[in-house]
Amino acid sequence: MALVLTSAVLVLAIAIFDFTQQSTRLSSRRVNEQAAIRLAEAGIEKTVWCLNNPTNTTDCPGNPTVYVGESSVSVGNGTFTTSWDSGSRTVTSTGNVSGSGGPTSKTLKTVLSRSGAEVAFQYGLQVGTGGITMSNSSQIIGNVFANGSVTGYNTATITGDVILAVGDATTNVGVDPSPNTTTIFGRTSPNTRYVAQSFVPTITDSVYEIDLKVARTATAPSAINVKLYTHDAANDRPGSQLATKSVAGSVFPVNIAGWDNGWTEVSISPTALTAGTKYWIVLEVSTTNNSNYYFVLHSTGDPYTSNTARIGSSLTSLSQLGSAGSDIAFAVKMGGTFPVLAMNGGVGGSVKAHTIGDTNVTPTVNVGNHAYYQALNGTVRANTSGTPETCTTTPGTYCHPNTPEETPAQFPLTSAQINQLELGAGSTTVGTQTFISGNTNLGPVVINGDLYISNTAIVTLTGTIWVKGNIVMSNSGKIVLSDSYGTDSGVIIAHDPSNPTSKGKIYVSNSAQILGNSNPDTFILAIAMSNDLSSSVVGLSNSQVGSIYYAPNGLVSVSNSASMKELVAKKITTANSATITYDQGLVNEFFSSGPGGSWAYQKGTYQIL
């Protein structure tokens, strides 16, 4: 009995010991798993830090241009190994821990987004409703697209083609809801291919533009088809399609903080609408994806009475979006002016405009190739580079009356994209900066004041610079892009939201230059946000050499000679034998917010594999 009792106690003791050991191993393994996750997260943090500090080659092997991750980096009692795929913008990180529970590893993956803008410049010179006024034998070498009139005095000439579209809308209807929230659109699960919003115009006229507040994941999804429909009253849903415009996913801002502070403007073919009649805006994606999709801003209440937004997988079975009466953020812009082309010195290429000729400017307009129009004022001669043809209301070989108006072209950057570029300047703030000599690295930074660069000073742009004042460059001063940008281009912005007229201007004169880096395909985008149309928002003079100038709200004046890659403005004037020479349009150029805070986590992409 003693042996039996002893054996029983021994078996029980062994069982208790084994259970204790298993519990200890299990607890240790759980602790190790958490430690491995933390190590993997540390690897992701390190990757983001290295991408945002590309000049640090000591702590980040492979910087500044070929950083791909690191292997077996020791932290505490473990290591992490990371890999960076710049194509998919994905970080994969594995944490490894050795402990009493045995070796443990955990692998994480997340997508990073970069604050910036992928911009397609379709025209070397693009002008808004302010149009272009040229005088004193000034010349534009290349093509022009304008949403306003183009007038040339004293033998002023344009060597390329000129296209004039309908001008700015005279009225708009819509809503920018607050409070608001977002709804995912274009994802496979749940399947959401359509978003619709009903509206009622207040005037009878044509619609030319629809503005939206839509964001996307870091990797651009498939294009959104922005459509206009009639109203099917019997079923309370979209009826017949009136117009459509395909918008590339890269045009929309990335879903990071601040994206909803700006609009994405979408130009559509002029479409006549009737006041007091209900219509529908429909957003459609042809394919859905669980990784790359959109976020639509909409109300939590009912700010747009008697109208509503809906979301669904098909137009025939739309369900309510959120609570009944919810509305997406949108604006429908209607009306507009018809611009006139009147060039005393003529146009070397073809012309497309509602009206060609203004007898108050010149009795005759010479067009080198084809003339497309609806109205004539004075004498218009087409094909002056060959056998001239005088245009009338009857079609000819080179004269084309009754040509429909050109659809307005939206500017390459949307308000939402500019807002995100400003956020890329970071949180470091300084006062007015003056540089008259030497080499200085600057950025990312916010300057609460003005920026002066003159004489022999060279300022290297190492991150986005946001100047809440004016930028003044003269006497051979230079801004050059840091090589740390690689193949991306950089941004400098003049914008003071508290003083939108007298501040937010850029003046460049006397051989001052704004240049890219050692990569010949890089540029600096200089943005001037002042809304002044009576005095220069961007002033370029005296053999100025520059990169890309962008003044969406104001006047750009060019005198003497100037050379630039691109010029976009609401209004342009040229004088004193000025010559604007620009390169061909840039397609899909990426303007990064720059090193030092440009990379961030893409919400919703964190995975434990």
Q: How far apart are the first and last CA of the chain?
A: 56
39 in Cβ contact with 74 (< 8 Å): no
- Structural contact between residues 454 and 473, judged by C-beta atoms closer than 8 angstroms: yes
Q: Tell me which DSSP letter residue 595 carries.
A: S
Torsion angle defined by CA atoms of residues 166, 591, 285 and 275, in that order, rounded to the nearest 10 degrees: -30
Q: Which of 526, 517, 539, 523 is nearest to 495 (CA)?
A: 526
Mean pLDDT of successive 10-residue stretches along the chain, which has 609 residues: 86 76 65 87 89 76 75 90 81 87 86 69 80 89 88 91 80 86 90 92 87 89 94 92 91 83 85 92 92 92 88 81 82 84 93 93 95 94 95 95 82 85 86 96 94 95 94 93 82 95 93 86 91 92 75 90 80 84 57 55 80
607: DSSP letter: E
**Residue 416: DSSP 8-state:** H
Contact 226, 283 (CB under 8 A): yes
For the beta sheet containing 309-312, the strands, ordered from the edge strand earlier in sequence to the opposite edge, are 237-247, 224-232, 279-285, 194-199, 309-312, 319-320
Q: How far apart are CA 427 and CA 5, in angstroms?
A: 75
Phi, psi (deg, nearest 5) at residue 46: -65, -40
Q: DSSP letter string over 523-553?
A: -EEEEE----SSSEEEEE-SSEE-SEEEEEE
What is the spatial distance between Cα 386 and Cα 1, in angstroms, rounded to a whole number? 125
What's the CA dihedral at 60, 64, 67, 69 to 10 degrees? Answer: 20
Note if the bond before 179 is cis, omega within 30 degrees.
yes
Q: What burial letters (b/e) apply to 254-292, b meaning 16+ CB within 10 Å?
A: bbbeebbebbbbbbbbbeebeeeebbbbbbbbeebeeeb
What per-residue confidence (pLDDT) applies to 589? 58
What single string gives the DSSP state of each residue in 13-61?
Answer: HHHHHHHHHHHHHHHHHHHHHHHHHHHHHHHHHHHHHHHH-TT--SSST
Domain boundaries, the chain: 28-114, 118-140+411-592, 171-334
User: Residue 597 has what pLDDT?
Assistant: 39
- How many helices (H) and strands (E) the chain has is answered by 2, 53
Output b/e per residue, 109-128; b: 16+ Cβ within 10 A. Answer: bbbbbbbbbbbebebbbbbb
User: Count of residues for the chain?
Assistant: 609
pLDDT at 595: 44
Tokens representing 247 are: 């918008």
pLDDT computed for residue 537 by the predictor: 94
Residues 6+ apart with CB under 8 A from 608: 37, 106, 107, 108
CATH class of 171-334: mainly beta
The pTM of the whole model exceeds 0.85: no
Q: What is the pLDDT of residue 255?
A: 85
Number of Cβ within a 10 Å radius of residue 65:
12
| pLDDT score recorded for residue 169 | 64
